[in-house]
Amino acid sequence: MNYKEFLKKFPDEKSIIDYFIKIRYPEGIKCPKCGNTKVYQKKARPKVFDCNFCGNSFSIFKDTVFEKTTTDLQKWLFAISKFLNAKKGVSAKQLQREIGVTYKCAWRILHQIRKAMAEENPQGFANGQFSV
Protein backbone atom coordinates (compact mmCIF):
# COMPACT_ATOMS: atom_id res chain seq x y z
CA MET A 1 0.00 0.00 0.00
CA ASN A 2 1.39 3.42 -0.85
CA TYR A 3 0.72 6.56 1.09
CA LYS A 4 -2.04 7.71 -1.21
CA GLU A 5 -3.94 4.45 -0.78
CA PHE A 6 -3.30 4.59 2.92
CA LEU A 7 -4.85 8.05 3.14
CA LYS A 8 -8.01 6.73 1.54
CA LYS A 9 -8.29 4.28 4.40
CA PHE A 10 -7.33 6.80 7.06
CA PRO A 11 -8.48 10.17 5.76
CA ASP A 12 -8.08 12.14 8.99
CA GLU A 13 -6.69 12.17 12.48
CA LYS A 14 -9.93 10.91 13.95
CA SER A 15 -9.82 7.73 11.86
CA ILE A 16 -6.31 7.03 13.16
CA ILE A 17 -7.41 7.64 16.73
CA ASP A 18 -10.40 5.32 16.36
CA TYR A 19 -8.17 2.63 14.92
CA PHE A 20 -5.60 3.08 17.66
CA ILE A 21 -8.27 2.81 20.36
CA LYS A 22 -9.41 -0.53 18.94
CA ILE A 23 -5.88 -1.90 19.14
CA ARG A 24 -4.77 -0.51 22.45
CA TYR A 25 -8.07 -0.77 24.30
CA PRO A 26 -9.83 -3.84 22.93
CA GLU A 27 -12.08 -3.93 26.00
CA GLY A 28 -12.83 -0.23 25.97
CA ILE A 29 -11.07 2.74 27.49
CA LYS A 30 -10.62 2.94 31.23
CA CYS A 31 -9.39 5.78 33.38
CA PRO A 32 -5.76 4.93 34.24
CA LYS A 33 -6.17 6.54 37.65
CA CYS A 34 -9.35 5.02 39.03
CA GLY A 35 -10.30 2.31 36.51
CA ASN A 36 -13.67 3.85 35.76
CA THR A 37 -14.99 3.01 32.32
CA LYS A 38 -17.22 6.06 31.98
CA VAL A 39 -14.83 8.28 30.13
CA TYR A 40 -15.56 10.94 27.57
CA GLN A 41 -13.63 11.92 24.52
CA LYS A 42 -12.91 15.62 24.20
CA LYS A 43 -14.42 17.08 21.08
CA ALA A 44 -11.65 19.54 20.36
CA ARG A 45 -8.86 17.11 21.25
CA PRO A 46 -10.05 13.60 20.36
CA LYS A 47 -6.97 11.90 21.76
CA VAL A 48 -7.78 13.17 25.24
CA PHE A 49 -10.40 11.61 27.49
CA ASP A 50 -11.96 12.86 30.70
CA CYS A 51 -12.92 10.52 33.49
CA ASN A 52 -16.47 10.99 34.67
CA PHE A 53 -15.66 9.78 38.17
CA CYS A 54 -12.36 11.35 39.26
CA GLY A 55 -12.04 14.10 36.69
CA ASN A 56 -8.71 12.82 35.43
CA SER A 57 -7.77 13.88 31.89
CA PHE A 58 -5.58 11.47 30.02
CA SER A 59 -4.18 10.92 26.56
CA ILE A 60 -4.73 7.58 24.91
CA PHE A 61 -1.23 7.91 23.48
CA LYS A 62 0.53 7.96 26.80
CA ASP A 63 3.77 5.93 26.70
CA THR A 64 3.59 5.41 22.96
CA VAL A 65 5.56 6.94 20.13
CA PHE A 66 2.57 9.16 19.44
CA GLU A 67 2.63 10.88 22.79
CA LYS A 68 4.81 13.89 22.10
CA THR A 69 5.00 13.98 18.37
CA THR A 70 4.25 16.99 16.23
CA THR A 71 4.21 14.89 13.07
CA ASP A 72 0.84 13.87 11.59
CA LEU A 73 -0.53 10.66 13.03
CA GLN A 74 -1.24 9.49 9.51
CA LYS A 75 2.45 9.67 8.68
CA TRP A 76 3.33 7.79 11.81
CA LEU A 77 0.85 5.01 11.25
CA PHE A 78 1.91 4.66 7.65
CA ALA A 79 5.58 4.48 8.69
CA ILE A 80 4.76 1.80 11.26
CA SER A 81 2.79 -0.30 8.81
CA LYS A 82 5.60 0.08 6.27
CA PHE A 83 8.13 -0.90 8.90
CA LEU A 84 6.21 -4.01 9.93
CA ASN A 85 5.46 -5.15 6.41
CA ALA A 86 8.74 -4.45 4.63
CA LYS A 87 10.75 -7.61 4.30
CA LYS A 88 13.96 -5.80 3.60
CA GLY A 89 13.37 -2.96 6.00
CA VAL A 90 12.60 0.67 5.28
CA SER A 91 15.16 3.35 4.73
CA ALA A 92 14.72 6.92 5.89
CA LYS A 93 15.23 8.04 2.33
CA GLN A 94 12.37 5.86 1.12
CA LEU A 95 10.09 7.08 3.88
CA GLN A 96 11.05 10.69 3.24
CA ARG A 97 9.97 10.32 -0.38
CA GLU A 98 6.72 8.54 0.34
CA ILE A 99 5.25 10.69 3.09
CA GLY A 100 6.89 13.98 2.16
CA VAL A 101 8.84 14.84 5.30
CA THR A 102 12.46 15.88 5.73
CA TYR A 103 15.15 13.23 5.88
CA LYS A 104 15.76 14.09 9.50
CA CYS A 105 12.11 13.62 10.37
CA ALA A 106 11.91 10.30 8.51
CA TRP A 107 15.04 9.11 10.24
CA ARG A 108 13.65 10.08 13.64
CA ILE A 109 10.37 8.28 13.00
CA LEU A 110 12.16 5.05 12.06
CA HIS A 111 14.47 5.38 15.02
CA GLN A 112 11.54 5.77 17.40
CA ILE A 113 9.72 2.81 15.88
CA ARG A 114 12.79 0.59 16.22
CA LYS A 115 13.20 1.70 19.78
CA ALA A 116 9.58 0.98 20.62
CA MET A 117 9.81 -2.47 19.03
CA ALA A 118 12.92 -3.29 21.03
CA GLU A 119 11.47 -2.45 24.40
CA GLU A 120 10.82 -5.33 26.68
CA ASN A 121 7.19 -4.59 27.37
CA PRO A 122 6.14 -2.68 24.35
CA GLN A 123 2.83 -0.90 24.47
CA GLY A 124 0.55 -0.57 21.55
CA PHE A 125 2.16 -1.43 18.31
CA ALA A 126 4.83 -3.97 18.99
CA ASN A 127 2.56 -6.74 20.10
CA GLY A 128 1.84 -8.24 16.71
CA GLN A 129 -1.76 -7.08 16.56
CA PHE A 130 -0.92 -4.24 14.32
CA SER A 131 -1.63 -4.50 10.63
CA VAL A 132 -3.11 -2.05 8.20
The residue ranges that bind Zn ion (CB under 5 A) are: 31, 33-34, 36, 51, 53-54, 56
Nearer to Zn ion, 3 or 58 (CB): 58
* Smallest separation, CB 49 to Zn ion (Å): 10
Q: State which residue, 23 or 34, has the beta carbon closest to Zn ion.
A: 34
* Cα–Cα distance, 79 to 10 (Å, whole number): 13
Residue 71, CA distances (Å) to 9, 17, 45, 121 in order: 19, 14, 16, 24
- What's the closest the beta carbon of residue 41 comes to Zn ion, in angstroms? 14
Q: Which is nearer to Zn ion, 28 or 128 (CB)?
A: 28
